Amino acid sequence: MERPPPGKVEDLATLAKLDEKVLLDELKIRYYNNDIYTYVGDILIAVNPFRDIGIYDDQTSYLYNLAKKTDHPPHIFAIADSAYQCMIGHGGRTPENQCILISGESGAGKTESTKLIIKQLVELCHGNTQLEQQILQVNPLLEAFGNAQTLMNDNSSRFGKYIQLQFHNGQVLGAKISEYLLEKSRLVHQGPGEETFHIFYYMMAGLPKTKQEHFCLAAADKYRYLACGTAGVSKDKESSKVKYDELLNALDLVGFTDEEQYDMFTMVTSVLHLGNVSFEEDDNDASNIPDMAPVDVVAKLLGVDSQDLAGTMTSIVTHTRGEQVTRHYTKQQAEEARNAVAKILYGRLFGWIVNKVNQLLAPTHIVPHSEQREIGILDIFGFEHFEKNSFEQACINLANEQLQYFFNHHVFKQEQEEYSREGIDWNEIKFVDNQPLLDLFLGRPVGILTVLDEESRFPRASEKTLVAKFNQKFGNVPYYKAAQSSNDSRFTILHYAGQVTYSADSWLEKNRDTLPPGVTEMLQSSNNALVKSIFRAQVTRTGSLSFQGRQSTRKTRRGHRPSLEAARKRKLTVGGQFKNSLQVLMERMTSATPIFIRCLKPNHVKAPGSFDLKYIQQQLLYTGMLETTKIRREGFAVRPSFDDFVNKYKVILCKPQLPGTRENCIKILKATGIQGWQVGRTKVFLKYFHIDQIADVLETMGKSAIHIQKLVRGFLGRRKAARRREVARQQAEKVAALLSQVEGLSMKLMSQQQTVKQNDKSIPPSFFGRPDSIIMEGPPPRVPDFPYGALSSVGGVSLTASDKRDYLQPKTFADSGTQASDSEEDEISDDEFVPVPSTQHPGNKMASVRWFQETQATQIYDPSQQNFIAEWFHGVISRRQSETLLKEKPTGTYLVRVSESRFGYTLSFKAEQRVRHYMIDQLRNKKFIVVGEPKVHKTLKDLIDYLKDNKLSNWDGYLIDPCGQESGECDYGDLVNERFYFTLEEQIKRMKTGKQRGIRESSRPLPPPPEDWHSPPIPDRNYSMAKDVERDMSKRPLPPRPAEAYHRLLHNQEAQHNVKLPKKK
């Protein structure tokens, strides 16, 4: 077979000759052709282009929708499609949980790949609920708080996350996120050219001036914690402001309330101010705070006492023999205490955000575990090697070692061991096993993390004593190299990806992650609800926050539960928590079928169009891609048992009952015509492409079955139609004969009557009936009911049950929907405002009326209208009624109506050819969104105002004019009772006196009144009844404003202006 031209090979495992040079040349040519994706069997190689190459649009997404792998070029969407097909059991596969593992260096494109996979999975679900939109917004939200710019990557993940998407019947059911090892030390120090977390730069660029003043914020260069990253504020301020607005929208869409967002930004700004607390030493080396202004600001923001806060950072209080002893910190110790408080504040805030996201994305209804399926996506920090590498880099690189081991174990070790057990003819492929290096870090009783934990328990331990123990314990290990000088606090580890030299500075402090005494108790009593909540939460063995306080089911030795004091003494270190996290992560990945994506970074300088051969070669070597290609080309990636194989593919032999034996497996394989398979002792061994080939056979058989069904159904249909035609013909003949007989009899009787009338003059005329001139008035007499249900035959032909149903039952017709539907079968989000015990709408108007009156009265308030009610608002009207109202209106005329079959609204407007309808949902945080659109709105009025200036995603137009009420009865009269106006008064008072908690410029409750507005708008002086409002813009009859409310408004106006207003006579 002739070799394809260079760069045209989409699957490198199909090459007959493959060596390092061929592999590099293929990737290089494909990279310069913008073909950044390449298959190695069922593994995807992705080379970061460092620019947008336009291959992620909706049309491309549509191509990879339940498609065969070979039908289209390699793509990240194809991996998502493959995982989805395997998860739902498409193409004869067994439905199984999937796990997508994305690995590579920092800056190789792992985070972007994660977002693209989630985007495609949502598209494959064909879902249009808010859950899918929320899931898409989670990544940008977490990136703002957990990502930062480093020398290797402009958007580097400074934490690891494992995203679990839960499915039921192919639809997203919910999601859960697990986070690992947030790099909190980045808060207090960043290396040259690096930045702290994105959120600080977004906030400095996007917060309105009023909010900056509220949070006492100054210029970015005034803050110690931003000293190394002030360029991040000034270099692209507009971009950061856009990111800030996108973050607010993501927070809204996911479901965070305004109060929660306010508290979040309060904690973030408190961290900035905390960094500006400075210390001095007196003659006794005791620290003190010369300027209490930053402390006062932090204390105010956190809701604690400033003296208590200052005391926890400058001294420690102990009790000895009933006496209180105060020991002052040195300046260095005070600075460490300050930094520890800042790190714990931010770290716990991040943990709370992840916990809140999981709460908001949890499944809304219970589905049996056996019916659930899951796709996990691992996006974890890439391998890092900086000029100075500390404890965080050691943990990050350890995580990458663990992932490399999982890859090697799954692709090489486990697979080749199975070949040996099953007696498969196989030549072993050598690979680099990094198990000894994992033992160096994680080994018990002697491992780097174990020794680190032991040293962390000794107060007098230092970096030198730690490195000395490392050298003593691991000096003879081949993967460990000690420094030449005994006073040097550095050591070197030979990782699978290369040699890395670590500095042990601050390892003990970072591993202990201790807080100054009294800080936790102080923050637990804070006046800030969020601060109080997160510091009363418990920390799990993996380092995440637990707010439910659930007890672990693991048994302790001798059945005794450890005391609280003992638990405090044995507090897990950061290294211990990270070790547990890796263990849990491996358990989750092992329970699913893994799919691997290898991300490659083409150059060091993050430049597009540059392919550094040497750099790429290093990445291919340490990831073992050459060996991987060989085992994918020669090995058997699919290994089902005999029973599973026969159960899935017995249809190929057209035998519904077939035992799962070796002989039957061979019969099926031969019937498919595929080549290169082997059969072991208990399993069938197939290459990765065999599944698609067998799926093609099943597809061909399926098409044949459909063709046979078509012919049989056509034959049966023609027979049935012929039988019905014969029945109809016989009925017609009988009816014609009956009519002929009736006509003959009537003519005969008429002739006889005329004869009698002429011959017998004694008979009075009234005997022969009424005169011809008299015509019976009124409708004809009613035809009596006929027991069609008891009818068994017509014209001698028996009727079946289907015949009776088709002929005798009345026909019903239903309107087809467009973008929204008011049918009862609509999928309804599990909103908190549902006023019935069940989240399912009962499907009647009464429920919608009650929901509106109890929760939505203020949403239709418009201060510009005399009766407070927005002109575009309509009551519980149907789709057809709204189309009647809008039919003759110009394009862009709109209305908002209350849905009868769901708790929500529908936006209806006149488009060019027809009336379009869009569902409006209210989120858990009481804000509104057009289903399928990304923008969240605080109120219905905000939503309408936004769509007057911005287009919907699938309509090229704007809302222009509201559609008011037509002449006749007002269609929202049953929604607006007398209590409505009193509710508005109460809400307006709340607006006037309530505390503003939002973080936006316009954060007032809906709708925002003018700044100089002090009381509710007063009606016209001659207003008394609804008839006076008929001169309003649409001549609509409106519910009257109750007299009591009107007089109360007059009284408020008089009291404010100290005048006596004329009363209507």
**Active-site residue identified among 14, 114, 153, 287:** 153
Residue 382 annotated in active site: yes
The C-alpha atoms of residue 451 and residue 457 are separated, in whole angstroms, by 10
Query: Strand, coil or helix: what is 147?
Result: strand
**Cβ atoms within 10 Å, residue 838:** 8
Strand partners, 223: none
Residue 278 annotated in active site: no
**Active-site residue identified among 48, 157, 240, 456:** 157
Whose tokens are 């539907």? That residue is 821
Residue 848 annotated in active site: no
Whose tokens are 């061991």? That residue is 417
The C-alpha atoms of residue 263 and residue 138 are separated, in whole angstroms, by 19
**Active-site residue identified among 111, 113, 150, 901:** 111
| 8-state DSSP, 813 | -
Contact 166, 374 (CB under 8 A): yes
Element (H, E) at 909: strand 905-910
Name the nearest CA neighbour of 416 among 430, 432, 405: 430
167: which 2 tokens?
């499915």
**Distance of CA 196 to CAs 86, 113, 387, 634, Å?**
40, 23, 18, 47
Whose tokens are 């202004």? That residue is 293
**Active-site residue identified among 336, 384, 401, 422:** 384
Contact 102, 381 (CB under 8 A): no
Whose tokens are 């056996």? That residue is 370
Residue 986 annotated in active site: no
Q: What do you get for the CA distance between the two ends of the chain, in Å?
A: 103
354: which 2 tokens?
């992840």
**Active-site residue identified among 156, 355, 400, 629:** 156
Residue 1058 annotated in active site: no
Please report which residue ranges of 956-1000 form alpha helices under DSSP H: 979-993
Contact 103, 110 (CB under 8 A): yes
Residue 384 annotated in active site: yes
Question: CA angle 858-1046-856, nearest 5°?
Answer: 10
Name the phi and psi angles at 560, rounded to 5.
Answer: -100, 140
CB burial of 162-186 (b: ≥16 within 10 Å; e: otherwise) equals: bbbbbbeebebbbbbbbbbbbbbbb
The C-alpha atoms of residue 668 and residue 170 are separated, in whole angstroms, by 29
The C-alpha atoms of residue 88 and residue 170 are separated, in whole angstroms, by 6
Give the DSSP letter string of 778-809.
Answer: SPPPPPPP--GGG--EETTEE--HHHHHHHHS
The C-alpha atoms of residue 130 and residue 657 are separated, in whole angstroms, by 45
Helices (H) and strands (E) in the chain, counts: 34, 28
**Cβ atoms within 10 Å, residue 467:** 23
Residue 740 annotated in active site: no
Contact 635, 123 (CB under 8 A): no
Element (H, E) at 99: strand 98-103
487: which 2 tokens?
């006073």
Q: What contacts 363, CB < 8 A, 6 or more positions away? A: 166, 173, 174
Contact 971, 896 (CB under 8 A): no
**Active-site residue identified among 127, 255, 376, 382:** 382
Whose tokens are 């006929």? That residue is 786
Name the nearest CA neighbour of 92 among 663, 702, 590: 702
Query: Is cis: bond before 1007, omega within 30 of 0?
Result: yes
The C-alpha atoms of residue 887 and residue 907 are separated, in whole angstroms, by 15
Query: Strand, coil or helix: what is 273?
Result: helix
**Active-site residue identified among 41, 107, 575, 932:** 107
The C-alpha atoms of residue 413 and residue 431 are separated, in whole angstroms, by 9
**Active-site residue identified among 14, 103, 106, 526:** 106
Query: Is cis: bond before 1009, omega within 30 of 0?
Result: no
Residue 397 annotated in active site: no
Give the length of the chain. 1065
Residue 404 one-letter amino acid: Q
Q: Which residues are catalytic?
A: 106-107, 111, 153, 156-157, 382, 384
